[in-house]
Structure 1
Amino acid sequence: MTSVGGPAAQPGPGIGSAAPEQPVPPYPGADPAAPPYPYPPAYQVAEPDRFTRFVTRLYDRAPRWAVPLAALGCVAAGVAYALVSDPTRSAPDAAPSCLLKLTTGLDCPGCGGTRALWYALHGDLPAAARHHFLFVFALPFLAYLFVAWAGRQAFGWRLPQLELSPKVLGGFLALWLAFSVARNLPWAPFVALYV
């Protein structure tokens, strides 16, 4: 039995004791005598391949109106497709082209958008809204955003920017989700939204 006045306890490697100085390698396999800094990079930057270098050079040398012109070409191709295909004249028993509608019979969030675009291009906004109300609602905003962006990129225009907060975007997406669910409900008045 030890007395109260026995030998003093030796400090162990616990709290309050100083650990012996030993060199710690900065990463596995490193020389323990090497200084701990600098650490190796977390990732290695890969050299771009030939195609990436070509695209980067092409982008750097392209005039500033080239990207808006390419985007306008994509929009024009979509508009041309809607005009040429005339989605309003499909046969009543034709198989739908929408994969979700083909497999489940349900209208997807975008169903009716091509028909709405066709009617909007022909100036029939009530029919366009009947096929996809939210598309018709969003169309002027999308057109303005595109014109403001393309004008700034190509010509340096400083049109007022639409400030869409996350709450506005979240509200629009929630409304779109509610619209997508409501148009598939099989009772009145929701059956009027079915396309």
Structure 2
Amino acid sequence: MCAVDEVTLESRPEPGRAPRRRGNPVKRWVTDVVVRPWFAPLAILSCFAAAAAGVAATDPTDNTGQTTCLFKLATGFDCPGCGGTRAFYYVITLNLPEAARHHVMAVFAAPFLAWMYLAWALPRIFPKRTWRLPTFHLTPGLLTAFLAAWAAFTVLRNLPWEPFTFFYV
């Protein structure tokens, strides 16, 4: 074999010029796959599926061992995210009442997040579709109201009397 077989010629090189090489295979893969419009939605969906499989396989509701939440370990109070993994477990096992008991705000936000993901992902995965899902327009006021409700939920779930003790996990 001669040295010319090691390179791919896109066209005949001009006299006196070296033939062009195809380049780094990783760079070609990135150019061919990662920059495609469908790659990001499918990558996010794959990560979500892996997280769901991991949570379903480990069953975070069995209460074995000590808590892994440093805030709860240090203060004894539920943090804004406490119960989120257990709520996610109950959502993927279709036990919505128990999911809401563990983290009602996350269960409330989940359908909106799923809708926003689909409205973003479907045009990228299927660009020839003629219809589009309506999108939410998240204004600063709406985001502020949601974060205020989340903060109120965090405080109320730590109060030691009924009906707030229902949300203490």
TM range, normalised to the smaller chain? 0.7 to 0.9
Q: Summarize deviations over 1:130-151 as a string: whole Å, max 9, x none.
A: 0000111111111111111111
Match of 1:145 in 2: 116
Match of 2:70 in 1: 99
Letter in 1 for 2:63: S
Counterpart Cα distance in 2 of 1:144 and 1:177? 24
Counterpart Cα distance in 2 of 1:184 and 1:55? 51
Match of 1:115 in 2: 86
More helix by share: 2
Gaps of 5+ in 2: 1-24
Letter in 2 for 1:116: A
Match of 2:19 in 1: none
Aligned-partner SS, 2:61: helix
Q: TM (normalized to structure 2)?
A: 0.75
RMSD of the alignment, in Å?
2.1
- Alignment counterpart, residue 187 of structure 1, candidates 158, 161, 165: 161
Matched ranges for 1:1-195 at <5 A: 60-62=31-33, 63-91=36-64, 94-156=65-127, 157=129, 158-195=132-169
Structure 2 CA distance for partners of 1:130 and 1:103, relative to 1, 3 Å: same
Structure 2 CA distance for partners of 1:55 and 1:145, relative to 1, 3 Å: farther
Q: Alpha-carbon deviation of 1:61?
A: 3.4
Comparing 114-123 with 127-136, greater Cα deviation is found at 114-123
Percent pairwise identity: 51
Higher relative contact order (CA 8 A, sep 6+): 2
Counterpart Cα distance in 2 of 1:80 and 1:103? 30
